[in-house]
Structure 1
Amino acid sequence: MAGVPQFGDRRAELAYRDRPAAFGLCEREGRIALVIVDKPGFAPWLDLPGGAIDPGESAAQAVVREFGEETGLRISAGEAFAHADQFFVNTDGEAFNNRATFMAVSWLGEAPALKIEDDHTLVWIDPHEAVERLRHDAHAWAVSAWLRRVVAPGRASR
């Protein structure tokens, strides 16, 4: 997609496969939903809930499914507010270029039966802190873009 920012460092020796993905930004009481991902052999990290778009799925369908699988929350997808690409290598050593759609989502309720990813733990964090702590630069950029949209004109932010 032309004009979409590209994040991450591309290592010349790796072949990066494009991976359409969707991530959700859910705010409640001034905090946003993130997941702590804790994989054996790696230091835990923070991500926005979301992930790969399956064949035949829309970005909205993917973010609803992924959000539930990772957090145990039922959400509805709102508008896509940003797009960004991110080179990364997953914990299995596969190289991807996430072609991410970032969507504002609304919390509808808890749905523990949806949660199937045991290595993901839901946390609610101040969005400014999230910008500093998120693993992927594209995720931090998207939270910053979201913050710029929701801060009222003339209201001082941090």
Structure 2
Amino acid sequence: MEKVELVFGEKKTDQTYITRPGAYAIIFNETKNQVMTVQSLKTGNYFLPGGGIENKETPEQCLHREALEEIGCKIELGDFLGSAGNYFYSPTYDTYYFMIGYFYMARIVEKVQESIEPDETYGWMDTSKAKQDLVHAHHRWALKKAMEI
């Protein structure tokens, strides 16, 4: 895996952080004015499609699995955009995390099933809104980087 290019958030010296690597996709619509997002129904927070890397998965394998689970689609991965870390506290899990995100351009190949995530929904969001509403700073960074391509 690549080294982390940027780090967001503030590391509190009095806390222990769990390092959580994940992979995330930037999927634009045809005109590139909307991006696919996933919303947690528990918190209302928005994320890029993707999630935590499990067992010995590669970031690419993780993204293919997560795309099926979250948006019910097969995807084709494009360019690797970069990696970034983010220190944050999750009130949902009462845990401090250092998330390492590996970000890729992607496109939807086909819809093959419904989402299997009962606590999430997904859909297109205007990129201008997503640049503000994605909950994690490293997701916002990756989106801005993707928009420059």
Q: TM-score, normalised by structure 2?
A: 0.89
Name the counterpart of 1:122.
122
Q: Superposed, which structure 2 residues align to 1:6-155 within 5 Å?
A: 6-29=7-30, 30=32, 31-39=34-42, 42=43, 44-90=44-90, 91-113=92-114, 115-149=115-149
Deviation sequence 1:31-75 (CA, Å, 0-9, x none):
110011121xx4x11100111111211101101111221112221
Give, in whole Å, the separation in 2 of the partners of 1:20 and 1:94.
15
Q: CA RMSD in A?
A: 1.6
User: Cα distance, 1:8 vs. partner?
Assistant: 1.6
Question: Any gaps of 5 or more consecutive residues in structure 2?
Answer: none
User: SS in structure 2 opposite 1:142?
Assistant: helix
AA of the residue aligned to 2:9: G
Q: Percent sequence identity over matched residues?
A: 27
8 A contact 1:36–1:46 mirrored in 2: yes
1:104-148 deviation per Cα after TM superposition (whole angstroms, max 9, x unaligned): 1110111225x2211111110122221011101111111000011
Aligned residues between the structures:
145
Bigger Rg, structure 1 or 2: 1
Measured in 2, the distance between the counterparts of 1:2 and 1:123 equals: 31
